[in-house]
Structure 1
Amino acid sequence: MKLSDNGKTLLEVTAGDIKEDGSFDIPAGVTSIGMWAFDGCSGLQSITIPQGVNSIGEAAFRGCSGLQSITIPQGITSIGAAAFYGCSGLQSIIIPVGVTSIGMATFEGCIRLQSITIPAGLTSIDGWAFQGCSGLQSVTIPEGVTSIENYAFRSCSGLQSIAIPQGVTSIGVETFLGCGGLQSLTIPQGVTSIEIRAFSGCSGLQSITIPAEVTFIGSDAFDGCSNLDSIVIASQSEAVRNSIASLLPDDLKSKVILKELADEVFKFRDAELSRLLQVPETNPLFRFFNMKSPHSSRVKGANGVEGECSKLPDELLQTINRFSGDNRYYQKAQRRIRGLPLPANADAVRDYKNKVTAIVNESMSKAKEFSQRIDEAADKGALQRAEASRTRVALSR
C-alpha cells in the first residue's frame, strides 16, 4: 500500500494488501482515493469507504472484477471517470447526495450491475457512463439532470425502463444503442434533438413518445427497431406531427400519430383484437377437443381403455385464448394491423378503425371456415368408415 506524503491520499493498493476474505481497510486520515489506486485488484471483493473521504479518483477501482459490494459514504462529492470501469462483479451501488456528475465510463462494463441509486442534485451523466451494463434493468434519472452524453447507456441490453427528466435537451449519439430490452420510452418536453443512432438496435422498442419541440432526428436514430409500432407526438397540432414525420425515414413516417389520437386508436385496436380471442375456433386446441374432428384428443383410462376426451366448453377455450402466446389468428391479425398506416388526423381515424375491424372479421371468418372444413372432413370420414365396416361385414358372411 502506498500513501501520499501527507497520508491523505491513497495512491496504490496491490494484490498483497487485500485480506484473505477479499476486503481492504482504508487507513484513518485518508480523504481521497487516488487515480488507479486499486487498478487490477481482482481479488478485492468488498470495501467500505469511511467518512471523511471526499473523492474517488479516475479509474480508482478499474478492473476490480471480483468487487461485489462497495459502500460510498455521504461526503463524497467527486467520482472520477472510469472509477469502476470493468467491475464485472458489482451488483448494486448507491451514489450519495453531493455527487453532481457521473463521469465518463464510470460504470462501463459492470455487466452484473442490476440496480443503481442516482441522487437528487446530479446534473450530468457523461459519455459511456453505463455502457455495457447488460444486467441493468431500470434507471430513474432525477430532476435536475440536464445532460445525458453520447453512448451513456449503449449496449445496456437488459434495460427495460428508464425515466428521463425534463431539463434534458438532447438525446446523444448512440445513447441507447443496443438496448434491446427497452419496450417503451417517453422523451420529455424540452428535448430538441435526437442524435444519430440514438436508439439503433433497440429491437424490443414498441412505442416512443417524442415532444413537439424536436427539430432534429439524426440518421439511423431508430435503425433496427424492428418492433417499433408507434411514434407518438406529444402535440395536438397536425403541422407539428407532419414536421416531425418529415425528419424520419420513409418506413417510419406511417407510424407517427398525435397523442390526442393515440389513446383512442390504440384502445380501439386492442378491443378489436380482444374480440378475436372470444371466438373459440381461433384457439389452436379447438380442433383437438371438437368431437367431430378426426384429430380429437384421446386419453387412456383405467385398464388401458381408450376413449375420446370430452369437448371443452367454449368459455374455457376463450379463457385459454387470453393467455395463449401462440394463437396464429391473433398474431397474424396483429401483424397486419400494425402494418396499417396510423391516422394522420381525426378525419382519418374512422377509415383506420374500419380497416382494423375488417382484418379482425376476416380472421374470425377464416377460423370458423377452417373449423367447418374439419367438421365436414370428419363427417365424410365417418361415413367412409361406416361404409367400409358394412362392406367388411357383408364379405364375412
Structure 2
Amino acid sequence: GSGAFGSCIGLTDVTIPDSVTEIGGEAFESCIGLTSVTIGKGVTKIGYSAFSGCNKIKTLNINCKTVPYLGMTSLKELTLGNNVNEIEREAFRGCTGLTDVIIPDSVTEIGKSAFKNCSNITSLTIGKGLTTIHLGDTDYSGDNQKTPFNGCNQIEKLDINCKIVPRLNIKSLKEVIIGDNVNTIDKDSFSNCTGLTNITIGNNVTTISDNAFSGCTGLTTLTIPDNVTKIGERAFNNCSGLITVTIGKGLDHYESWSFYGCNNVKTLNINCKDVKDVGFKSLTELNMGNNVINIWVYTFRNCSLLTSVTIPESVAFIGAYAFDGCSNLTTAIFKSNASWKLESYGGHINIQEELENPSKAAQYLRSSASHCSWTRN
C-alpha cells in the first residue's frame, strides 16, 4: 500500500512478483540504498512517487503492460520484458546513464518524450510490434521537442523492425539497419542525418516515402532491394556523397526528383523494368540487368563521362535523346541487335546491321539517331 516501505534505507534489491497488481503511492519513497528493481507482469498501477528519492537505482527489469514515469534517472541498465505494450510519456526522461536500449517486439506504443535527454544512448533497437509513436501534441504535429528521443544526441546505431519506420528525429545516426518486418520507410524518417554512412534496407520494404533520406550527405553507397516498388519525391534529395547506387528489379514508381542533387554518383547498377532520368550526370559506369525493358527519353542525356554501355537482350525500347550528349561514349554492346529500328518521321529504319559494330552502335546512340525512339519486336 501507500508508503509501505518508505525510507527503508537498507533495501538494495526489490523484486515485485507477477502476482502483485498495484504498487501504492510512495511505496518505496526515499529507499536510498536501492540499486536494482524488478517489476513483474501483473502490475497494472504504480502510484504517485512510488520510487521518489531512490537516486541510486542502476538496474530496472520491468515487465508490466504499461511502463509509466518512475523517476529513476540514475538507471544504467534497462530490460523491458516481452509483456510490455506501452512506454508512457516521459517514462525514462533524463536517464543519462543509459547507453543501450532495446524495445521488444511486444511494444506497440511509445509516448511523447519517453527517452528525452537520455543523452548517452549510443545504440537503439526497436522491435517489430511498434505501431504508434507520439511525435508531438499529436502523432504528426512535428513538435521536435516532444519526440520520444529528443535530446538523445549520441545515438549512432539504430536497428528497427516495425512495419512502418516513423520519423524519429535522431540526427546523430551513423548506421541504420531496417529489418525484414518493415514494409514502409515513412516520410522524413531520416532526413538530414548528415553523419549517416551505412544503411541496410530489409528485403520486404516496398515503399521509401518522400524525403525519407533527404540530405543524408554522408551516404556513399545505396542498395535498393528487389521488393521496393516505390521511391517517393526527393527521397534521396541532396545525398551528395553518393557514389554507387544499386536499384533492384521491383521498382516501378520513382520520379526525376527522387535523387535530385545526387551529383556525384559514378556507378549505377539498375535492374527495374523502366529506367528513367534521375539526374546522374557524373556516371562513369552503367550496368543494366536483364529485367530492364524500357530506357526512357533523356535518361542518360549529357552523361559525358560515360565511355561504354551494354544494352541487355531484354531491352525493347530506347527513348529519344536517351544517350544524347554522351560525347565520350565509344562502345555500345547490344546483347541482341535483332529487329532494332528507328522510329523516324519517314517511318521505320532498320539498323540491326549497324549495331553489330560496338563503335558504330555507340555513334548511333549519341548522334542524330538519338533524336529518334528505338524499338524492336
Q: Distance in 1 between matches of 2:249 and 2:232?
A: 16
Q: Is the 1:9–1:31 contact (alpha carbons within 8 Å) kept by the matching residues of 2? A: no
Q: Distance in 1 between matches of 2:182 and 2:166?
A: 14
Question: Once the 2 structures are TM-superposed, how far is the Cα of residue 115 of structure 1 from its aligned partner?
Answer: 2.6
For 1:1-397, list aligned pairs within 5 A: 8-10=44-46, 17=52, 19-21=54-56, 23=58, 30-34=64-68, 37=69, 43-49=73-79, 51=81, 54-61=84-91, 63-64=93-94, 66-69=96-99, 72=102, 76-82=106-112, 83-95=114-126, 99-101=129-131, 103=133, 106-107=148-149, 110-118=152-160, 122-129=161-168, 131-134=169-172, 136-218=173-255, 220-235=257-272, 240=273, 243-246=274-277, 248-249=278-279, 252=281, 257-260=286-289, 340-341=305-306, 343=308, 345-346=310-311, 352=329
Equivalent position SS for 1:132:
coil
Question: Once the 2 structures are TM-superposed, how far is the Cα of residue 184 of structure 1 from its aligned partner?
Answer: 0.7
Flag the structure with higher strand content: 2
Q: TM-score, normalised on structure 2?
A: 0.54
**What is the identity, as a one-letter code, of the residue corresponding to 2:228?**
V
Q: Distance in 1 between matches of 2:269 and 2:203?
A: 17
Q: Distance in 2 between matches of 1:62 and 1:73?
A: 13
Q: Distance in 2 between matches of 1:218 and 1:42?
A: 48
Compared with structure 1, are the counterparts of its residues 180 and 110 closer, same or farther at alpha carbon in structure 2 (3 Å cutoff)? farther
Q: TM-score, normalised on structure 1?
A: 0.52
Flag the structure with higher helix content: 1
Q: Distance in 2 between matches of 1:58 and 1:173?
A: 29
**What is the identity, as a one-letter code, of the residue corresponding to 2:305?**
L
Q: Is the 2:96–2:120 contact (alpha carbons within 8 Å) kept by the matching residues of 1? A: yes
Q: Is the 2:240–2:261 contact (alpha carbons within 8 Å) kept by the matching residues of 1? A: yes
Task: Give the unaligned 5+ runs of structure 2.
Answer: 3-21, 26-41, 135-146, 291-302, 313-322, 332-377
Q: Which is higher, the Rg of structure 1 or of structure 2? A: 1
Q: Distance in 1 between matches of 2:189 and 2:49?
A: 29
Task: Give the unaligned 5+ runs of structure 1.
Answer: 262-337, 355-397
Compared with structure 1, are the counterparts of its residues 30 and 183 closer, same or farther at alpha carbon in structure 2 (3 Å cutoff)? same
Q: Distance in 2 between matches of 1:220 and 1:87?
A: 36
Equivalent position SS for 2:275:
helix
Deviations 1:16-74 (A, max 9, x none): 93644474757x8844213xx26xx6954435346475123343447526242356586
Compared with structure 1, are the counterparts of its residues 20 and 230 closer, same or farther at alpha carbon in structure 2 (3 Å cutoff)? same
Q: What percent of counterpart residues are identical?
A: 22
